[in-house]
Structure formats: C-alpha cells, structure tokens
C-alpha cells in the first residue's frame, strides 16, 4: 500500500514537473536570457542589475509556488497548499514593488522604504487562514472526498493582494507620468507600457480565469527585460559623465528636428585645461558633470541637450521664442554663478525654418560663443592658452 502511494506521488510529481516547464517555458527562457545579459553588464549598471536579479528570482519563485500549490492540492496536502498559497499572494505585489524600486529615479530615503509595509500586511493577512475563527475572511483549503484539496474563497480580505498590487501599479503610472513631465518621453512611455502590461495580466488573472491562468510572473519578467533593454539602448545615446545626449545622437536627431528648430544655444567651458593640469582629470570631470546637469535643469520641454565632445555642449530648442531662449540662458548663468565654474555661451534664433539654415544658425551661435569667451579672458586678464 505504501509503495503504491509513493508510486502515485512520483507519477503526480513527474506530471507536475512537465506541466510546470511547459506552462512557464517563456518565463524560464526570458529569465535565462536576462540573467546572462545582466551578469555580463553588472559593472555598468550594478544597482539596476541587483533589482533585475531580485525581480527575475521572485518571478520564478512565484511560478514555483503556484505550481507547488497545485501539486499539494493533488496529493492532498492542506498545509502545503496553504503555505504556497500564502507565499504566492505575497509575492505578487512584491514583484510589482521591486519593479518600482528599479524604475524609481529620485533618491530613496528611509521613509521611502516604509512603502514596503503593505507587503508585510499582505503576508499576515493571508496567514489568518490558519486561524479557525478568521479564515472565512480570507482564503483557506479543504479536503475533498477523493483526498484532493480544494481552494475555498473566503471574505473581503482575500482581495488584499490584489488591492496592494493595484496601489503599486497606480504608483508606477504616476512615476511614468512624472518622467514624461521631465521631458524624458521615451523613458516615461516605456515604464507606462510595462505598467499597462502588468495591469492587464492582473485583470486577466483576477476576473477572466478560475485560477488556471497565471501570467503575472511572466509579464513581470518580460516587462523587466523590456525596461532593461531600453536602458541599454538609452545608455548608448547618453553621455555617462554628464547625462546629456551624445554627439552621435545629435547627428541622428538634427535632421528629424530641423524644421521645428527655432533656437540653438552653444556652451563652452572656460578653464577645463587648467583644472585638469593643476587638480587632475577627476576635478575636470566633476566640472563637466556639474555644467551638464545645470544645462539639463534649465532646459524646458522640447529642448534637447547634447555634449558634442570635451567641454562643448549644445542645446536645440523646438518652437521657442527668442525671449524664452534668453530666459534659459539667464537661468543657466544664474545657477552656474553659484559654482566655481564658468562657461561661454552663444545663441542663434530664427522665426521659421525658412528664415536661415541650421548651418548658418550653428555658425552664428558659435561666433557669439567665441566672442563671449574672448570677453571672459579679456576681463579676467588671463592668458587663454594656459587655460
């Protein structure tokens, strides 16, 4: 009799294993690709890589817990089904929360991590299933006549995991919208697209299936891959030192924006050679990083900042007036005056695309920039070649 039971459990186990591999094949493949890809580029993006490892690991763990729950139900283990059910309900919003940690751009203070408290609450809510007087408010498992175990829907608390996950998804939506407001159109759209995918997967699992459809874990993994690939592509477009777009991106963007460009501002740092020679290249890099961040902070929507090389920066303004260009320059000079650095600035403006060509605008802005530079060295009584 015991041997028959063992044989029966082995058969069920093999069926479970094959079913798990088939139903989670895409998740397994995506996870393997992401892990290999992330390991190779860990030094380039250490923080993002750690979050990716956690998300992929938790997504796989969610798939395993869901599968083990079904396995325990088949072999008649009420305790096992309950344990893996609780783990699954807790992991669902956890995967979404980890995605927030990965995409959140602002500095995370101690208060930020209090946002993980709903995950702790979720775990303890579903643990109420072991309390006889409280389990009808959550979910619990009961044994059938044939020895298998069935899932029993309890009261309103069974929606805790869904509500917490929904709250995190709303948060992701606000993150993407805030990024859109900061002129990072492609970044915001990428996060918003991933959020929509995850929302749809939660809706499908919650309202259009009877527990036999599990797509959240795969969707989270795929969304993570999409976001990481976006970051990888974006990093090739952005100068890592200054966070400005690269010269190659400038050459790519200029033809597409040429008709809408009404203003060009050129920036050239003064004294970079002096900093490098006397204080080291690290100090020079710090200066360039500071200047780049100030230009970006002054740029309005539809203004794009590029580092053309060395200490040269350029801003393309689409559909802005001359007054708005001058306001941008004034804002830049005001912020820069609070640092120890100095930049020469020149600009060019046209009313429409037919006024003057882009080449003429570039020559005009460059001429004004060098006039400003000559005036700086003259006023400072500094021999330019030494600076």
Say if residues 90 and 66 touch (Cβ distance below 8 Å).
no
Picking from 168, 32, 20, 152, the residue whose alpha carbon sits closest to that of residue 92 is 168
pLDDT at 335 over 60: yes
N residues, the chain:
387
pLDDT at 386 over 50: no
pTM attached to this predicted model: 0.62
Q: Could you give all domains of the chain from N- to C-terminal order, each with its CATH number?
A: 2-235 (1.20.1070), 247-386 (3.30.70.270)
Reported as a pLDDT band with limits 50, 70 and 90, residue 21 is: confident
Reported as a pLDDT band with limits 50, 70 and 90, residue 234 is: low
Say if residues 223 and 30 touch (Cβ distance below 8 Å).
no
Contacts with 218 (C-beta within 8 Å, 6 or more apart), sequence order: 24, 26, 27, 30, 59, 63, 201
Backbone angles phi and psi of 344, in degrees to 5: -90, 140
pLDDT, average across residues 28-42: 82
Q: How far is residue 25's CA from residue 90's CA, in Å, rounded to a whole number?
A: 23
Residue with tokens 């380039």: 44
Which region among 120-124, 128-132, 188-192 has the lowest average model confidence (pLDDT)? 188-192
Q: How much is the pLDDT for 267?
A: 97
Reported as a pLDDT band with limits 50, 70 and 90, residue 263 is: very high
**Angle at 111 (CA atoms; ends 190, 99), nearest 5 degrees:** 25
Reported as a pLDDT band with limits 50, 70 and 90, residue 365 is: very high
Q: How much is the pLDDT for 354?
A: 66
Give the number of other CB atoms < 10 A from CB of residue 263.
Answer: 24
Q: How much is the pLDDT for 16?
A: 66
Q: How far is residue 74's CA from residue 84's CA, in Å, rounded to a whole number?
A: 13
- How far the first Cα of the chain sits from its last, in Å, is 91
pLDDT, average across residues 302-313: 91
pLDDT, average across residues 137-144: 85
Q: How far is residue 375's CA from residue 208's CA, in Å, rounded to a whole number?
A: 71
- Higher pLDDT among residues 123 and 23, named by residue: 123
Backbone angles phi and psi of 3, in degrees to 5: -65, -40
Question: Over pLDDT 70: what percentage of the chain?
Answer: 85
Contacts with 139 (C-beta within 8 Å, 6 or more apart), sequence order: 85, 126, 129, 151, 152, 153, 154, 158
pLDDT, average across residues 164-189: 73
Residue with tokens 């860990």: 42
CA 300 to chain centre: 22
Q: How far is residue 1's CA from residue 17's CA, in Å, rounded to a whole number?
A: 24
Give the number of other CB atoms < 10 A from CB of residue 26.
Answer: 12
Give the number of other CB atoms < 10 A from CB of residue 352.
Answer: 8
- Higher pLDDT among residues 193 and 106, named by residue: 193
Picking from 54, 93, 99, 61, the residue whose alpha carbon sits closest to that of residue 226 is 99
Say if residues 58 and 91 touch (Cβ distance below 8 Å).
yes
Q: How much is the pLDDT for 192?
A: 76
- The sign of the CA dihedral 56, 58, 61, 63 is negative
pLDDT at 206 over 50: yes
Picking from 187, 293, 308, 202, the residue whose alpha carbon sits closest to that of residue 246 is 308
Which region among 29-38, 99-108, 116-125, 204-213 has the lowest average model confidence (pLDDT)? 204-213
């Amino acid at each position: 009799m015991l041997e028959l039971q063992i044989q029966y459990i082995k058969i069920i186990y093999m069926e479970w294993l094959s079913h798990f591999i088939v139903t989670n094949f895409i998740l397994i493949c995506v996870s393997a690709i992401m892990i290999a890809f992330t390991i190779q580029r860990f030094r380039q993006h250490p923080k993002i890589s750690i979050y990716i490892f956690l998300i992929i690991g938790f997504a796989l763990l969610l798939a395993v817990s869901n599968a083990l729950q079904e396995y325990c139900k088949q072999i008649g283990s009420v305790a096992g089904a309950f344990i893996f059910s609780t783990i699954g309900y807790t992991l669902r919003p956890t995967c979404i929360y980890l995605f927030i940690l990965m995409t959140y751009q602002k500095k995370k203070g101690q208060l930020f991590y209090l946002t993980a408290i709903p995950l702790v609450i979720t775990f303890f809510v579903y643990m109420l299933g072991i309390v006889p007087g409280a389990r009808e408010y959550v979910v619990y498992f009961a044994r059938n006549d044939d020895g298998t175990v069935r899932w029993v829907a309890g009261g309103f608390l069974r929606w805790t995991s869904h509500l917490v996950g929904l709250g995190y998804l709303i948060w992701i939506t606000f993150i993407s919208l805030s990024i859109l407001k900061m002129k990072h159109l492609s970044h915001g759209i990428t996060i918003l697209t991933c959020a929509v995918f995850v929302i749809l997967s939660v809706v499908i699992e919650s309202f259009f299936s009877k527990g036999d459809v599990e797509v959240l874990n795969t969707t989270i993994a795929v969304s993570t891959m999409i976001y990481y690939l976006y970051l990888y592509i974006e990093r090739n477009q952005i100068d890592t030192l200054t966070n400005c777009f690269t010269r190659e991106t400038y050459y790519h963007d200029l033809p597409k924006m040429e008709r809408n460009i009404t203003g060009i501002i050129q920036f050239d740092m003064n004294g970079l050679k002096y900093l490098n020679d006397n204080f080291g290249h690290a100090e020079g890099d710090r200066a360039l990083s500071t200047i780049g961040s100030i230009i970006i902070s002054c740029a309005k929507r539809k203004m794009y900042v590029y580092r053309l090389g060395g200490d040269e920066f350029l801003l393309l303004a689409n559909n802005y007036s001359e007054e708005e260009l001058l306001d941008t320059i004034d804002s830049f000079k005001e912020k820069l005056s609070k640092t120890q650095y100095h930049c020469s600035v020149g600009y060019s403006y046209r009313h429409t695309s037919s006024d003057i060509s882009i080449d003429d605008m570039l020559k005009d802005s460059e001429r004004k920039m060098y006039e400003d530079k000559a005036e700086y060295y003259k006023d400072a009584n500094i021999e330019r070649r030494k600076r």
